[in-house]
Chains A and B, each alone.
Chain A
Amino acid sequence: MGVRLGIETLAARGVGALSRVAGRGGGTTLPGKLLWKLDPGSVDALAARLPQGSALVSATNGKTTTTAMAARILGSSARLAWNQSGANLLSGIASELVSARRAELGLFEVDEGALPEASVRLRPRVVALSNLFRDQLDRYGELELVAERWRDAIGGLPDETTLVVNADDPVVASLADGRPQALRFGLDDARHARPALQHAADSKYCILCGTPYEYAAAYVGHLGDYRCPACAHARPSLDVAAREIELHGLVASRFRIDAPAGAVDIELALPGLYNVYNATAAASLSLALGASLSDVRVGLEAFSAAFGRFERIPTGGKTVVVLLVKNPAGANEVLRTLETGVPPVLVLALNDAVADGRDVSWIWDVDFDPILEHVGRVVVSGERAAELGLRLLYGGLPDARLEVEPSLERALDRGLELVGAGTDLVVLPTYTAMLTLREILSARGLVRPYWEGERP
């Protein structure tokens, strides 16, 4: 085993270097695919060599950001094996295990569907689960199906594994029921509650009896402080809570994290309540791995943004602000950060490759309406630009304020032409549209390719 592992690992490393030289975009999963194909069991063996073990992060929304935040917090005291590029299937994790030499701690974001296999192979010390929203039903299947797979995966974990769960998501919170080691996190600041559950809210019926939950506060989608009026099933008490939350538009947020070990004030250079959730999840995960509250504060405050999720890219006196959207719940939260200062020009880009979801019906579940009243001009782009245009027109955007430009490059330039000097151009792309947009900006020398990103 040892000899085979050595040869295959060397071969896989060689493939990774070759793939980068060949310019095929980072070579992030190619060596892992090779190793995964040659000998899947080697993943178990490589993971078992990590002296501090592994932690896994999964969720519909926020897993890349949460994992990157945790990497900031934990990276100061341990050498990490971390799938930074977001390659979150077993092959991507295998690649990271191959290339991260002398790593001490494994920190992996895991695709929702890959969590069962990753749990078995990596035998994680901590598993952090943040939320389940409807997402790419053509690819993942229905929410309940994913929840069922997670339930099975967790049932197979040993008692020593700590489960970190979002108490504000009824389905996710229930996964920690009966676990001896569990940490439950959530938000606790009713000033930021939505006046009503959003259209796309998913798990809004009691998981025990089916009665609609009553919410003392609904924060993001169906996440919040819920209680069933019929059987009294309710949000469990929070071990780690974000309180005194202040949101500063598209720029930043401040909040306090209350944990068993004490409290700490955080200034986060990221917008939106959803990033407060991500930060609270990352803090809880890090605390479960033994980090101190001061590590948490320093790490979170040094954090800027994960790949492609939120980027400000200056170009000729204007700034392109890129915010990834990929499903109704995530898009709603991104739009919410725009509500306080609706930008004069928006570029929205919808692709329908496998990574975006081939079924584009989800755009109709996004609450665009608050933005449509105030936005001056919207340029819709991407392969399904017309579909997005229809969504906005039937949602109430006047014809005269809509432009349809399927080419991303021309849409970007048109957007830049429309905004005044010193102004932000806000661009909301789906995943593969974001990759193309980054290629365009990279070709213009404005952003670095992602595989050259810094490591903490």
Chain B
Amino acid sequence: MRIVVGHLYPGYLNIYADRGNIAVLDRRAALRRHELEVRSIGIGDPVAPDAYNLLYVGGGQDREQALVAPDLVEKSEAIHAAHASGVAILAVCGGYQLLGHGYRGRDGSFMPGVGLFPHETVAGATRMIGDVLLECELEPGEKHQLAGFENHAGRTLLEPGAEPLGRVLFGFGNDGESGFEGCRIGPAIGTYLHGPLLPRNPWLADWLLAQAIAHASGGDPRPLEPLPDELEAEAFRVAAGRARKRGRRR
């Protein structure tokens, strides 16, 4: 199967090793004999909603994020259409903020976002930095842990009833108070966690690939054949240990 990934603004949003996430998707697809094609989507490029099976938006420094934000809003309609058709989405850090309703600065200014994720982000006075451990249940009855690193000043407030990506075991999460991290709507995931996210959390990489393959083939998502993932498990073990030791206990 051929899986097409649309990578939004790779030249601008690439601060927390976003290319690591792409490399993981690529290799894990290849190991299952699928072919992953990554197409860059830059400022001014049109987004054809039916051209992709997975959209990826990474994180950037404030300056780069401000440079792409207006263009991303122009692409709102296409992104909503893609999501409605079942395209998988992974948005990390800045990308996660930009796909919400908007970002309110300390000076009261408001930068509108895409409005896909039901949340608004408000700038905080201090940054929330450190190792994080989450418990997720994306499929009923299937609990997984997710280990990552967060570094954000924005407090992301989910609308009532919105589904978070996971429950915070250690760390700050969306706003440091709610006990939740990230957001999920169907096959779309938004999160502050980097490190990068996917290498040490291969179950999530495979879940995203399964969504993308389902979109490409027209069927329902089916679990991929497992890989040994021994080094992945070791990296997760160490990272989770860091969160237990250094992350804020919820």
> Which A residues are closer than 8 A to B by beta carbons?
134, 137-138, 141-144, 199, 204-205, 210, 212, 352, 358-365, 383-384, 386-387, 389-391, 393-395, 404
Instruction: Given A134-B15, A138-B129, A358-B149, decide whether A394 and B199 contact each other with a Cβ distance below 8 A.
Output: yes
The 0/1 profile, CB within 8 Å of A marked 1, for residues 212-242 of chain B is: 0000000000000000000110110111001
Note all chain B residues with C-beta closer than 8 A to A391: 20, 199
Chain B nearest CB from A290 CB (Å) reads 38
Beta-carbon contact of B23 and A387 below 8 Å: no
Note all chain A residues with C-beta closer than 8 A to B63: 142, 144, 205
Note all chain B residues with C-beta closer than 8 A to A141: 127
Checking A144, A364, A387 against B19 with a beta-carbon cut-off of 8 angstroms, the contacting residue is: A364
Note all chain B residues with C-beta closer than 8 A to A212: 11
B176 at the interface (CB under 8 A from A): no
Beta-carbon contact of B151 and A137 below 8 Å: yes
Can you report 9 A-B residue pairs in the complex whose CB atoms are below 8 A from each other? A204-B11, A205-B67, A361-B194, A364-B196, A365-B19, A387-B199, A390-B199, A393-B231, A404-B231
3 nearest A-B pairs in the assembled complex, by CB-CB distance: A364-B17, A364-B20, A361-B17
Size bin of chain B's contact surface: 35 or more
B184 at the interface (CB under 8 A from A): no
B126-165 with Cβ < 8 A to chain A? 127, 129-131, 149, 151
Chain B nearest CB from A143 CB (Å) reads 6
In Å, the complex CA distance between A431 and B93 comes to 27
Note all chain B residues with C-beta closer than 8 A to A144: 61-63
B35 at the interface (CB under 8 A from A): no
In Å, the complex CA distance between A248 and B8 comes to 40
Instruction: Given A383-B238, A387-B239, decide whether A395 and B149 contact each other with a Cβ distance below 8 A.
Output: no
Closest residue of chain A to B195 (Cβ to Cβ) is A361
Note all chain A residues with C-beta closer than 8 A to B27: 394
In Å, the complex CA distance between A386 and B196 comes to 13
Note all chain A residues with C-beta closer than 8 A to B12: 205
B64 at the interface (CB under 8 A from A): yes
B246 at the interface (CB under 8 A from A): yes
Chain A nearest CB from B154 CB (Å) reads 13
Instruction: Given A205-B67, A364-B20, decide whether A390 and B127 contact each other with a Cβ distance below 8 A.
Output: no
Beta-carbon contact of B196 and A361 below 8 Å: yes
Closest residue of chain A to B232 (Cβ to Cβ) is A390
Closest residue of chain A to B18 (Cβ to Cβ) is A364
B7 at the interface (CB under 8 A from A): no
Beta-carbon contact of A138 and B151 below 8 Å: yes
Chain B nearest CB from A108 CB (Å) reads 28
Beta-carbon contact of A389 and B231 below 8 Å: yes
B14 at the interface (CB under 8 A from A): yes
Chain B nearest CB from A8 CB (Å) reads 34
Note all chain B residues with C-beta closer than 8 A to A359: 16, 129, 149, 151, 194-195
In Å, the complex CA distance between A395 and B67 comes to 29
In Å, the complex CA distance between A157 and B125 comes to 28
B72 at the interface (CB under 8 A from A): no
Beta-carbon contact of A358 and B15 below 8 Å: no
B189 at the interface (CB under 8 A from A): no
B24 at the interface (CB under 8 A from A): yes
Chain A nearest CB from B12 CB (Å) reads 8
Closest residue of chain A to B149 (Cβ to Cβ) is A359
In Å, the complex CA distance between A394 and B19 comes to 11
B200 at the interface (CB under 8 A from A): yes
Beta-carbon contact of B61 and A142 below 8 Å: yes
Chain B nearest CB from A112 CB (Å) reads 15
In Å, the complex CA distance between A142 and B16 comes to 11
Instruction: Given A137-B151, A138-B149, A360-B195, decide whether A365 and B17 contact each other with a Cβ distance below 8 A.
Output: yes
Beta-carbon contact of B238 and A387 below 8 Å: yes
Beta-carbon contact of B235 and A394 below 8 Å: no
In Å, the complex CA distance between A204 and B9 comes to 14
Note all chain B residues with C-beta closer than 8 A to A393: 231
In Å, the complex CA distance between A359 and B27 comes to 23
Beta-carbon contact of B235 and A386 below 8 Å: yes
B1-37 with Cβ < 8 A to chain A? 11-12, 14-17, 19-20, 23-24, 27
Instruction: Given A138-B151, A144-B63, A365-B19, decide whether A390 and B242 contact each other with a Cβ distance below 8 A.
Output: no
Note all chain A residues with C-beta closer than 8 A to B127: 141
Q: Which of A144, A384, A387, A394 has the most CB of B within 10 A?
A: A394
Beta-carbon contact of A352 and B242 below 8 Å: yes
9 more contacts with CB within 8 A, not counting A212-B11, A390-B231, are A144-B61, A358-B149, A358-B242, A361-B20, A384-B238, A386-B238, A390-B199, A390-B235, A394-B24
In Å, the complex CA distance between A365 and B19 comes to 8
B104-131 with Cβ < 8 A to chain A? 127, 129-131
Beta-carbon contact of B238 and A205 below 8 Å: no
In Å, the complex CA distance between A205 and B65 comes to 12
In Å, the complex CA distance between A207 and B16 comes to 22
In Å, the complex CA distance between A134 and B62 comes to 13
Closest residue of chain B to A380 (Cβ to Cβ) is B231
Note all chain B residues with C-beta closer than 8 A to A142: 61-63
Note all chain A residues with C-beta closer than 8 A to B234: 386, 404
Chain B nearest CB from A207 CB (Å) reads 9
In Å, the complex CA distance between A199 and B11 comes to 8
In Å, the complex CA distance between A138 and B129 comes to 6
In Å, the complex CA distance between A9 and B175 comes to 47
In Å, the complex CA distance between A358 and B131 comes to 8
In Å, the complex CA distance between A352 and B242 comes to 10
Closest residue of chain B to A388 (Cβ to Cβ) is B235
Note all chain A residues with C-beta closer than 8 A to B237: 386
Closest residue of chain B to A197 (Cβ to Cβ) is B11
Beta-carbon contact of A199 and B238 below 8 Å: no
In Å, the complex CA distance between A377 and B199 comes to 22
Chain B nearest CB from A353 CB (Å) reads 11
In Å, the complex CA distance between A310 and B14 comes to 30
Note all chain A residues with C-beta closer than 8 A to B196: 361, 364
Instruction: Given A138-B151, A358-B149, decide whether A386 and B20 contact each other with a Cβ distance below 8 A.
Output: no
Note all chain A residues with C-beta closer than 8 A to B129: 138, 359
Q: Which of A358, A361, A384 has the most CB of B within 10 A?
A: A361
Note all chain B residues with C-beta closer than 8 A to A205: 12, 63-64, 67
In Å, the complex CA distance between A164 and B62 comes to 27
In Å, the complex CA distance between A404 and B17 comes to 22
Checking A138, A390, A395, A404 against B200 with a beta-carbon cut-off of 8 angstroms, the contacting residue is: A390
In Å, the complex CA distance between A92 and B184 comes to 48
